Amino acid sequence: MGKDKSFLKFGNQTVIEHICDLMKSIFQNVIIITNEPEKYQSLGLKCYEDIIKGIGPLGGIHSGLIHSQSELNFIISCDIPFITKDVIDFIISQKEDKEVVVTRADGYIQQLCGIYRKKLLPQIEKLIESSSEEETRNNEQKKRKCRVLSLIESIDAKIIDIEKEYTDYKPGTFYNMNNPEDYENALRMLNT
């Protein structure tokens, strides 16, 4: 993106303000995981850094679960501005007794919008450790990345085909912004 996408304007708010307000309207305890907590102080929420840095979104999930006081946790990234309370409520209603509940939508498993149980921490730490060991064996100098999808594929996860199972699903609900073109497109979608 070239800049912090969480502070991009989206309507009358920044993207992070929009997501935080949505989360606060649904959940009692909301925290932010960021490696720059000072930037988010104005939101009035507890902010925590990744405990293990340099491993991508799985590091954020790991830190969120460590700092959470709840067994069930709704994890969401800040770059899906079209997500709605109704969609989140639907995901929550599908929780059953699975370790992870996420959706498949728009051709992808939506890994960063769903329920993650705190009891996953040992499996996440094992995945992080094995990723680190593999990197050492391969003698690579790259930052290690632990894929959230690797975790989902290795556990008892529920993947909801939300386009078929949720009758009010609207295409683009999980649209995410990774570059300036995505952001411009999201603004056009917002204004139509």
**Nearest-10 Cα torsion for 151, 126, 129, 127:** -10
**pLDDT band of 174, cuts 50, 70, 90:** very high
Predicted local distance difference test score (pLDDT) of residue 17? 96
pLDDT in tens, 31-69: 999 999 999 999 999 999 999 998 999 999 999 999 999
**Residue 135: pLDDT band by 50, 70, 90 thresholds?**
low
Tell me the C-alpha distance between 37 and 175, whole Å: 25
Reply yes or no on whether the pLDDT at 109 is more than 60.
Answer: yes
Mean pLDDT across the chain:
90
Which residue range is the domain that position 175 belongs to?
A: 5-190
CATH number at residue 55: 3.90.550.10
Q: How far apart are CA 45 and CA 37, in angstroms?
A: 10
Residue with tokens 């109704």: 86
Whole-prediction pTM: 0.89
- The band of 138, judged by pLDDT with boundaries at 50, 70 and 90, is low
Task: Quote the number of domains for the chain.
Answer: 1
Token output for 42? 């104005």
Element (H, E) at 63: helix 57-67
